[in-house]
């Protein structure tokens, strides 16, 4: 492909998206650039503080539990209070709790504050996704979600590399840098992003239009949430099952680092071009293919005997991740009532938070009792079941909402209130 063609493709990828989206995208990127704590928390607790691996696992579990609880609460806040206030509260709370965590020494205090950090850091996700759905035209949403996912992975890749150098100097510096960068995100939201919550038309209060009971009674959507949980269980094995299995097979942490690095590199390189290819294709087919590809990508790990082969299996399931992430988020928006987007996104976010709790338990139990080969075979089975589930649930998918809602006519007036 020529340089001119590459420039044209890049221009088409970023064109047509509103200014507010790019400020939200910038906030996401800055937030992930400063995501140091999750990267070195286990090392901080075991090497710097001298706690056991079991205690480090407990802290990680409490952090995840906080995310599970906040998913639904943040979804309700997003619909009732608005996207912008929820983002401001979440990011300000994250900055404060992360900074506080760096000064905690007692094990009970560390565990308690880690739980608060998990709640605060996860609370922004439903608001970000709902705001993105509000301000981006329906036909551009998959592209927008993909660009946001790309920013998440680009920021995480940079922060993961920087975390090691920062930890060598000072773990406390890492906590304070993350707190400062999260505070910058809050400033960006406060200064540049207007509220995007759609008006209810004066008949029903926007916050009361959809309750959690409505979400739970939405059979098809809850089916999608369940399938999302299954897919998340598979993808979580890249960080919980794969390192354990490679360690038991005699590979070093450096070998695992080399293999898993392929995941981040491929997402950064391929997310945008792959999105251009899938943007207007059938979401049902994309989710079926990506679910099966994820399952069998991990399933192939059973046959890996070298770092190169492990890296090849990572390539397979990373491609599934690139396709699945924006398509699934777009589907959640498509199935959500306009005035219930926060609650629906919160329920969807919870499926991933619960998977982050269950996946380590699942992988540890299966590897200890049956061996890693059974874990990879189970991944293939779960991927197949998820693919079949999407094929059944997504028959007669509702049509995209009319485009008239997307331009968000109040924008010029709202921008003056930011």
* Alpha carbons 41 and 339: distance in angstroms, whole number: 38
> 299 near 373, Cβ under 8 Å?
no
**pLDDT of res. 176:** 92
Residue in 229, 227, 236 with CA at minimum distance from that of residue 364? 236
140-154 pLDDT per residue, tens: 888 888 888 888 888
Query: Does position 19 have pLDDT exceeding 50, yes or no?
Result: yes
For 29, phi then psi, to 5°, come to -60, -45
* Alpha carbons 277 and 275: distance in angstroms, whole number: 5
Helix, strand, coil shares of the chain, percent, nearest 5, are 80, 0, 20
What token pair was written down for 316? 């397979």
Q: Do domains 18-198 and 208-396 have the same CATH topology?
A: yes
169-177 long-range Cβ contacts below 8 angstroms, 24+ apart: 171/40, 171/44, 171/48, 171/102, 172/102, 172/103, 174/36, 174/37, 174/40, 174/44, 174/102, 175/36, 175/37, 175/98, 175/99, 175/101, 175/102, 176/99, 176/102, 177/34, 177/36
Q: Give the list of residues 6+ apart from residue 97 with CB closer than 8 angstroms, or none.
A: 113, 116, 117, 120
* Alpha carbons 210 and 202: distance in angstroms, whole number: 15
Query: Does position 405 have pLDDT exceeding 70, yes or no?
Result: no
235-245 pLDDT per residue, tens: 988 877 888 88
HSE-CB of 50 using CA atoms within 13 angstroms: 2
71-108 pLDDT per residue, tens: 888 888 888 888 899 999 999 999 999 999 989 989 99
Per CATH, domain 18-198 is 1.20.1250.20: yes
Residue in 382, 360, 342, 344 with CA at minimum distance from that of residue 90? 342
CATH architecture of 208-396: Up-down Bundle (1.20)
* Alpha carbons 77 and 87: distance in angstroms, whole number: 10
Q: 294 or 349: whose pLDDT is higher? A: 294
pLDDT confidence band for 287 (50 / 70 / 90):
very high
Residue 96 to residues 32, 71, 114, 170, 185, Cα–Cα distance (Å): 17, 19, 12, 19, 13
Query: Does position 47 have pLDDT exceeding 60, yes or no?
Result: yes
**pLDDT of res. 8:** 65
* Alpha carbons 133 and 360: distance in angstroms, whole number: 32
Query: Does position 315 have pLDDT exceeding 90, yes or no?
Result: yes
Where are the domains positioned within the chain?
A: 18-198, 208-396
- The whole-chain average pLDDT of the chain stands at 82
334-378 pLDDT per residue, tens: 888 888 888 888 899 889 888 888 888 888 888 888 888 999 999
Compute the average pLDDT of residues 229-233. 94
pTM of the model: 0.76
């Amino acid at each position: 492909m020529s340089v001119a063609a590459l420039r044209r493709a890049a221009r088409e990828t970023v064109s047509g998206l509103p200014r507010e989206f790019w400020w939200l995208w910038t906030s996401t990127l800055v937030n992930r650039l400063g995501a140091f704590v999750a990267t070195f928390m286990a090392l901080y607790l075991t090497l710097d503080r001298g706690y056991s691996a079991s205690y480090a696992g407990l802290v990680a579990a409490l952090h995840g539990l906080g995310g599970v609880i906040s998913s639904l609460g943040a979804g309700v806040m997003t619909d009732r209070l608005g996207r912008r206030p929820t983002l401001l509260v979440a990011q300000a709370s994250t900055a404060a709790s992360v900074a506080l965590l760096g000064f905690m020494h007692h094990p009970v205090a560390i565990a308690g504050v880690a739980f608060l950090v998990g709640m605060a850091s996860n609370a922004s996700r439903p608001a970000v996704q709902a705001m993105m759905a509000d301000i981006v035209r329906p036909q551009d949403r998959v592209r927008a979600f993909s660009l946001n996912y790309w920013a998440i992975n680009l920021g995480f890749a940079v922060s993961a590399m920087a975390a090691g150098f920062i930890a060598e100097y000072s773990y406390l510096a890492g906590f304070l840098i993350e707190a400062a960068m999260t505070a910058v995100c809050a400033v960006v939201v406060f200064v540049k992003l207007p509220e995007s919550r759609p008006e209810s038309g004066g008949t029903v209060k926007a916050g009361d239009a959809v309750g959690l009971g409505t979400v739970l009674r939405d059979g098809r959507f809850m089916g999608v949430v369940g399938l999302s949980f299954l897919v998340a269980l598979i993808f979580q094995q890249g960080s919980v099952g794969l390192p354990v299995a490679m360690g038991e097979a005699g590979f070093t942490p450096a070998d695992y680092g080399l293999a898993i690095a392929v995941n981040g590199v491929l997402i950064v390189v391929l997310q945008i071009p792959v999105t251009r290819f899938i943007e207007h294709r059938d979401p049902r087919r994309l989710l079926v293919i990506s679910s099966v590809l994820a399952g069998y990508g991990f399933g192939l790990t059973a046959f890996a005997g070298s770092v190169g082969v492990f890296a090849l299996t990572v390539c397979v399931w990373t491609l599934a991740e690139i396709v699945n992430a924006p398509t699934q988020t777009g589907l959640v928006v498509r199935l959500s009532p306009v005035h219930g987007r926060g609650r629906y996104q919160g329920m969807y976010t919870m499926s991933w938070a619960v998977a982050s709790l269950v996946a380590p338990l699942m992988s540890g139990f299966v590897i200890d009792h049956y061996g890693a080969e059974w874990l990879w075979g189970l991944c293939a089975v779960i991927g197949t079941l998820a693919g079949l589930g999407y094929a059944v649930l997504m028959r007669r998918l509702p049509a995209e909402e009319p485009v008239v809602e997307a331009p968000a006519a109040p924008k010029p007036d709202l921008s003056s209130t930011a």
